[in-house]
């Protein structure tokens, strides 16, 4: 895109420079040539309506002046759910939920696009397949968003299960025929030693890997961000963890 400023005067042709700004950001400063200054940019990174201010510095014969124009910048590419896909994803903790996304370029746009997520809850991550796509013009290119959640391991339940099996085994030993009395005593002794060992291991600090943290239940807003060079496009999604 090229922004052109023409500075006129009833006297000599104005000289000096023109500065183009958008909000608080200076886009560029260009010297006048024949009373005209043109600023060319390959893309604007901020999508939507914005005001471009043009300021002329003035010279010995012409006073400084300024003007502005309203500019609407369309996205270089857009994200949209594929077909009837929803932007609200519901999943049980520990499982994965997926949603297809179509990426469509603006006329004349071409480039490589990568993806990321922001705003996901703790112990949650996302992935895309493919992770990188190539856009060329308006044909839509698909990718698949997958959100992976975590479920904490019920360590106490595992230990309770081991204890239950041990108690059941001990009960069988108690009803062992009387002629195996000596064997029964030794078996009970081994069971007792086993339970003590299990208890010590369970209470010992750092005895094993910590159980994985669980994705907390709730409703969360997160953003899918697509990036191509300095250009970014994003789309809002909702994750419901049950």
Which residues, at least 6 apart from 231, have a Cβ–Cβ distance to it below 8 Å?
43, 45, 76, 77, 111
| pLDDT for position 29 | 95
Looking at every residue in the chain, the average pLDDT score rounds to 82
| pLDDT for position 126 | 97
Is 124:83 a contact under the CB 8 Å cutoff? Answer: no
Could you give phi then psi for residue 206, rounded to 5 degrees? 70, 30
C-alpha to C-alpha distance for 229 and 143, rounded to whole angstroms = 19
User: CATH for 77-151+214-241, among 2.30.40.10, 2.60.40.2310, 3.30.1330.60, 3.40.50.10470?
Assistant: 2.60.40.2310
Other Cβ atoms closer than 10 A to 164? 10
> Scanning the structure block, which residue is given the tokens 């299990």?
198
Q: Which helix (H) or strand (E) holds 131?
A: none
pLDDT digit string (tens) for 117-130?
A: 999 999 999 999 99
pTM of the model: 0.58
Please list the residues that pair with 129 across neighbouring strands: 144
pLDDT digit string (tens) for 46-64?
A: 677 888 999 999 999 999 9
pLDDT digit string (tens) for 148-198?
A: 999 976 433 444 454 445 544 555 555 555 455 555 555 555 555 554 444
| pLDDT for position 155 | 37
């Amino acid at each position: 895109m090229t922004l052109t400023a023409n500075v006129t005067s009833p006297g000599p042709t104005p000289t000096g420079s023109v500065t183009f700004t958008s909000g608080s950001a200076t886009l560029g400063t260009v010297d006048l040539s024949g009373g005209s200054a043109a600023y060319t940019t390959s893309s604007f990174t901020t999508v939507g309506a914005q005001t471009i201010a043009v300021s002329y510095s003035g010279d010995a014969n012409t006073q400084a002046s300024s003007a502005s124009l309203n500019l609407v910048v369309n996205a270089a590419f857009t994200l949209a759910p594929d077909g009837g896909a929803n932007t609200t994803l519901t999943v049980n903790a520990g499982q994965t939920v997926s949603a297809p996304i179509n990426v469509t370029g603006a006329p004349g746009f071409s480039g490589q696009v990568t993806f990321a997520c922001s705003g996901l809850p703790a112990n949650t991550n996302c992935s895309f397949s493919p992770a990188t796509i190539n856009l060329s013009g308006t044909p839509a290119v698909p990718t698949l968003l997958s959100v992976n959640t975590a479920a904490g391991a019920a360590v106490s339940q595992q230990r309770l299960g081991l204890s239950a099996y041990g108690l059941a085994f001990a009960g069988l030993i108690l009803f062992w025929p009387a002629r195996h009395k000596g064997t029964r005593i030794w078996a009970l002794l081994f069971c007792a030693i086993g339970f003590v060992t299990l208890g010590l291991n369970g209470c010992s600090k750092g005895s094993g890997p910590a159980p994985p943290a669980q994705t907390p239940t709730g409703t969360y807003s997160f953003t899918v961000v697509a990036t191509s060079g300095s250009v970014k496009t994003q789309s809002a999604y909702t994750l419901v963890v049950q």
